[in-house]
Structure 1
Amino acid sequence: METGMVSLGLGIGISLLVFVAYIYWQHMRLNLVMGIAQLPNMSSKVPFAMGIVLVLLTLAIYSQTGRFRDWDQGRLDENIDYLVAAEITKASRWAQSEPQNTLALMALAQAYSAGGLYSDAVRTLDKLLEIGGEDAEVLGAKANALYYRELRQMTPETQEVIAKALALSPFEPQTHMLLAADAYLHARNQEAIDHWQLLLKHNGDSINREAINNAIAKAQSKMNER
């Protein structure tokens, strides 16, 4: 059981690290979209450090509680960080004042996802798709929201949205980030590496390359242990 617990702990840790990278990327894009120029610049090292602390804290709590059998019984924490809540409020007001503005709707959907309100994010993205038509980036965001809404289950609906996103843009970053995270979570390490490497090759500086390289190293290490 201890070996399985350690393996699961590592899986949770790397999934959190990649998810932190994804949320930070979305946060930066949201700030750019909403034009928050007056906010002080934050060092790029801060989010990375926060991610490391989050991973270590999660593993520490997990190792102390010893709830291995109950790891899949977790429930979404309904308490949203007040900074995320503020972003949701700001984006919501923008979308209400300009209901046909696709940038406002995307900002609201991203804020909902950052706060874990995935059902609200899906509804907002559906409205965005109705207004602007099918778009790979919007579909990629919807696939992520569906996946986490269903507690990281790759449902047929999510798979259909992923297929549409990749048909429009084979290298859509959010979609491949999702596929990599799901593959890693289910010990399909080479598949996860393939998606991460594709992200590094085709998406330049729009992604957190350091976090992805660390994820690749972890996956390769797990493969070498076999």
Structure 2
Amino acid sequence: MNSLAIGIAVTLCAVITLIWRHHHSSQKHGVTLIVKPFDDGIDEHSVNIKVPTVLSVVLFTTTLLIYVQLGHFNGWNKGVVDTNIDYLITAEINRNAKKVNEQPNNEIALLNLAQSYVDGGLYSESVQTFDTLLKLTGDDANIIGMKANAMYYRDNREMSLDIDLVIARALALDEYEPQSRLLLATHAYLSGEFEKAIEQWQKLLESKQPNVNRAAINNAILRAEQKIANRSVAASE
């Protein structure tokens, strides 16, 4: 049992215990929870005991429904890459997975599930979901680019031949596919290949892609150029 479930169970038990202690204390001191006279023959004690019983049942049921709606944590607490997934991300994964189970050919649902896997650090599951999605959509440059990114982080930021082939496939469909270009730029920058990173970013600036953050790319280019300048100064000393 995971820590989230234990915490909920302990808190729930504590609250229910307080409700019953308050009830017994009230009975002990002669305080009734219902002051209306009972002229219809109903036993007052039986009515009074129903109050904490109903409160306990309502509290337990409400807590259980909220927990089920948000998603249980344990099923996703075994991720290889990220074993401490935020419970809100877990809930999002569960909701998207449920949607895909109900509508396995829903492309939007599959895309949302793949993205939520990425958010949760479950990159292998994300790659598998992108593969399923591509079987429905056929060759789609954007989806292939997103798959390449998931593969890259799944492999601990190693640029393998398989990833190179996936990127080449995306760029063959769309020369300016942003996910692939950004991945190439990021990997080059992290590898100290600042010239290659700038080349990829400039390709994106040349494109007509509306979802490209040009201000951020320009800042990245400036940082890379500064790195090149600093390296040149260090080499000349």
TM-score normalised by the shorter chain: which range applies?
A: 0.5 to 0.7
Q: Does 1:219 align with 2:216?
A: no
Determine which of 145, 148, 163 is the counterpart of 2:153.
Answer: 148
Which whole-Å deviations, capped at 9, do the CAs of 1:58-102 have from their partners, x for residues lacking one?
Answer: xxxxxxxxxxxxxxxxx9432112332232222212211110011
CA distance in 2, matches of 1:131, 1:167: 20
Please give the per-residue CA displacement for 1:107-132, whole angstroms capped at 9, x wherever unaligned.
Answer: 11111112111000010011111122
Matched residue, 2:134: 129
Matched residues, number: 152
Mapped contact 1:91–1:108 kept (Cα < 8 A): yes
Distance 1:84 1:203 in 2: 32
User: What 5-or-longer segments of structure 2 have no aligned partner?
Assistant: 1-79, 233-237
**1:21 aligned partner:** none
Cα 1:203/1:121, change in 2 over 3 Å: farther
Contact 1:118–1:146 (Cα < 8 Å) also in 2: yes
Q: 2:82, 2:120 → 1: CA distance? A: 10
Structure 1 CA distance, aligned partners of 2:88 and 2:154? Answer: 21
> Is 1:193–2:198 an aligned residue pair?
yes
Tell me how far apart the structure 1 counterparts of residues 162 and 213 of structure 2 sit (CA, whole Å).
28
Deviating 4+ runs (over 4 angstroms): none
Q: Is the 8 A contact 2:82 2:122 kept in 1?
A: no
What does 1:18-29 correspond to in 2, within 5 Å? none
**Contact 1:173/1:203 (<8 A) preserved:** no
Matched, 1:112 2:114: no
The DSSP-based 3-state class of the residue aligned with 2:139 is: coil
Tell me which residue corresponds to 1:86.
Answer: 91
TM-score by length of 1: 0.63
Root mean square deviation of aligned Cα: 1.6
Alignment deviations for residues 29-65 of structure 1 (CA, whole Å, 9 cap, x no partner) = xxxxxxxxxxxxxxxxxxxxxxxxxxxxxxxxxxxxx
Shift, 1:201, TM fit: 2.7
User: Contact 2:110/2:130 (CA < 8 Å) preserved in 1?
Assistant: yes
1:161 matched to 2:166? The reply is: yes
Question: How far, CA to CA, are the matches of 1:83 and 1:180 in structure 2?
Answer: 31
Contact 1:146 1:158 in 2 (8 A): yes
Q: How does 1:71-82 map to 2 (within 5 A)?
A: 76-82=81-87
Alignment equivalent of 2:175, drawn from 167, 170, 174: 170
